[in-house]
Structure 1
Amino acid sequence: YHPVMLTKVLVYGYCVGVFSSRRIQRRLLEDIPFRVLAAGNEPDFRTIADFRKTHLTALQGFFEQVLQMARELGAARVGRVALDGSKVKANASKHKAMSYQRMGEKQRQLRDEVTQLLAQAEAADAADDAEYGADRRGDELPAELQRRESRLTRIRAAKRALEARAKDEAAATGKPVESAKPDANAQYNFTDPESRIMKGPDGFVQAYNVQVAVDEQQLIVGQAVTQETNDKKQLIPMITIIAAQSGITPTQLLADAGYCSDANLAAIADTTIDPYISTRKQKHGERPGRPGPCPRGPLPKTATRVDRMSRKLHTKAGAAVYAARKAIVEPVIGQIKQARGFRQFLLRGIEKVQGEWSLVCTTHNILKLYRLYG
């Protein structure tokens, strides 16, 4: 099948909330727009799925191309940008995850079970030899023993992965690498090892943390996927990503309290960006704006950067700017997750998930441009 045809079908599917390759195949049989785009061709779900996996890198390039088209149309104005993160479920169950401590316990249990099964096998062999003679083949492992040996091998590999992760984290923070050990509660998922347990609106889920930077036209001008469970470390990387993907650095950046830290405020102070970053979590149902009357008098000399940002958002002008954040970025997350139904990745692994998220964001921008200029 021609790659252009498959690309059209895939992009249109993501635009209308049809993400599964099997559902796309079904639409190619019964949905007129799909049939027109496919020119009557009927690729099966495996062809569609393989095409998506094989050409993810090329499909990611669409995001920048669509943004370039938006700039040429005058739609993408990266002046005021709002930043937000959201948890999207991985294609893996949290019940397939195991903590480092539990791995040690399970490893010991499996070793004991393997020892017992080997003893039982030897006893059975001895009984068979006594009954049938000593020329019986004995090189096949019993199925029960094979299962335990396989699980033991996977747990050993998972422990090594967690230990390597602990050493990498120690190296990144300047701590001694040799003595670094995983936390007892560090989790490893056997289905998608690169996903993480994260806290979402519905409790803890196996997920990835997706990031979007959105302009006032609700066009996504920067997007990324991270394994970090919160947004604290995403502010400066996202500023770099916005510049790389849209070609422009924003003049104003609005972000919620998840991005607020003294280190982040210090780093953004070295840029030309005017930040409006909440210093406290907004209560459910609370109207955006000033959290209370602006304190009078000058800030004390001991005031931290967080204190200064808090005072900035207490002013009438600062509160008015920050209040726009909800109307800029949060509807975009809602449109993707609620209106289009994208709540779980189909692919596994951070690289493939990044490609899929890029496709989701690209199709969001296509839909937005269609509504603006179509």
Structure 2
Amino acid sequence: MKRFIQGEHRGQSTLLPESLDDYVNDTNPVRVVDVFVDELDLVKLGFESAIPADTGRPAYHPSILLKIYIYGYLNRIQSSRRLEREAQRNVELMWLTGRLMPDFKTIANFRKDNGKAIRGVCRQFVVLCQQLGLFAGSLIAIDGSKFKAFNNRDRNFTSAKLKRRMEEIEASIHRYLTALDAADQQDRPASDPNVVHLEERIAKLKAQMKELQLIETQLNESPDKQVSLTDPDARSMMTRGTGIVGYNVQTAVDTKHHLIVAHEVTNVGSDRDQLSPMAKQAREAMGTEKLSVVADRGYFKSEEILACHDAEIVAYVPKP
């Protein structure tokens, strides 16, 4: 180990800082998160349990859970289980929460039950950025990103996929019935293991066919002719040459400091109809009269560009 940087021995006694505050320097982003959340009116924003109940076990204050959620967003930690783990070992989160360690279910329920209130927090952040002069004020960029849902591809159905699945099941049933007929010609008893197995397979396939027929009814009633069984809102869409079942998240970003001005979650795979809605939403959030938007060629649609022009928004979109 000569000529290498040497570490300390694990048995060496070390004098650590006495205060947890000494571990977080003055320029750490968690200090901004702490001040920002503490200044919010969580009751007015509509957070559940912002006013404690008179009875029952005391709950975590929404500000603590909101700080954990924002910290996870800043550090790309989406899983509630990972956030629970970070709260137990991460010094920044310990400082931010006062060493409180909510379990993953509490974090997940907070995120699920306060979606509207969290969107209100995003609007308050945009207002703060305006007051601090962090927006260029006249130019934004719009783009979309595909996010995979929990819904498996096998649990998403379109007309073509449903028809193909039904044909496969019908072919399997026909194959097993042919095998049963061959067994009858060989005078095999009904208790023969092969015969019992074939009958069980046929019964199972017929049950699957009935389920697919019910899904076909839902599919015919669906406006976009798609059905997702796990996440009803998720849709099949193309991304980089492959298909995923998920969502198309539209984002409007300020070109000065790359701050998100507005966002919207859609289940439409194409970006062509999203230019004018996102531009109008961004202008409203920024509180400006004149606005120019930049987008890639996936947003090129004459009707959308005309809608931006009518709203006095200048759109720069390359023609495909």
Q: Classify the TM-score, shorter chain.
A: 0.5 to 0.7
Distance 2:293 2:102 in 1: 44
Find the counterpart in structure 1 of residue 217 from structure 2. Answer: 160
Q: Is the 8 A contact 1:21 1:49 kept in 2?
A: yes
Name the structure 1 match of 2:263. Answer: 223
Structure 1 residue 95: deviation in Å? Answer: 3.4
1:263 aligns with 2:303: yes
- The code of the aligned residue for 1:98 comes to F
Classify the secondary structure of the residue corresponding to 1:92.
coil
Residue ranges of structure 2 left out of the alignment (5+ in a row): 1-59, 177-189, 191-199
Counterpart in the other structure of 1:340: none
Task: List per-residue Cα deviations over 1:104-154 (Å, max 9, x = no partner).
Answer: 5656887997xx9xxxxxxxxxx9xxxxxxxxxxxxxxx989976875565
Structural RMSD (CA): 3.1
Alpha carbons of 1:85 and 1:259: their partners in 2 closer, same or farther (altered >3 Å)? same
Match of 1:55 in 2: 114
- Where structure 1 has 5 or more consecutive residues not aligned to the other structure, the ranges are 117-126, 128-142, 170-181, 281-374
Residue 69 (structure 1) shift: 0.3
Q: Please point out which of 267, 279, 294 is paired with 1:239.
A: 279
Partner residue in 1 for 2:233: 194
The structure-2 alpha-carbon separation of the partners of 1:269 and 1:150, relative to structure 1 and needing over 3 Å to count, comes to: same
Summarize the Cα distance change of 1:16–1:102 in structure 2 as closer, same or farther, 3 Å threshold: closer
Q: So what's the TM-score if we normalise by structure 2? A: 0.65
The share of aligned pairs that are identical, in percent, is: 29
Q: Separation in 2 of the partners of 1:161 and 1:250? A: 45
2-structure distance, mates of 1:249, 1:158: 48
Larger helix proportion of the pair: 1
Select which of 62, 75, 83 maps to 1:16. Answer: 75
2:252 counterpart SS class: strand
Evaluate the alpha carbon distance shift between residue 34 and residue 157 of structure 1 in structure 2; reply closer, same or farther with a 3 A threshold. Answer: farther
Per the TM alignment, residue 268 of structure 1 is displaced from its structure 2 partner at its CA by 2.3
Separation (CA, whole Å) in 2 of partners of 1:202 and 1:31: 39
Residue in 2 that maps onto 1:136: none
User: Which of 1 and 2 has higher RCO (CA within 8 Å, sep 6+)?
Assistant: 1
TM-score of the two chains, using structure 1 as the length reference: 0.56
Measured at CA, do residues 148 and 35 of structure 1 come closer, stay the same or move farther in structure 2, by a change above 3 Å?
A: farther
> 1:214 and 1:203 mapped to 2: Cα distance?
26
Q: Tell which structure's C-alpha radius of gyration is larger.
A: 2
Other-structure match for 2:103: 44
2:143 aligned residue (84, 95, 103): 84
Secondary structure, in 3 states, of the residue corresponding to 1:88? Answer: strand
1:267 Cα deviation (Å)?
2.1
- What number of residue pairs does the alignment pair up? 239
Q: Structure 1 residues 12, 153: closer, same or farther in 2, change over 3 A?
A: farther
Superposition deviation, residue 277 in structure 1: 1.2
C-alpha distance in 2 between matches for 1:21 and 1:147: 37
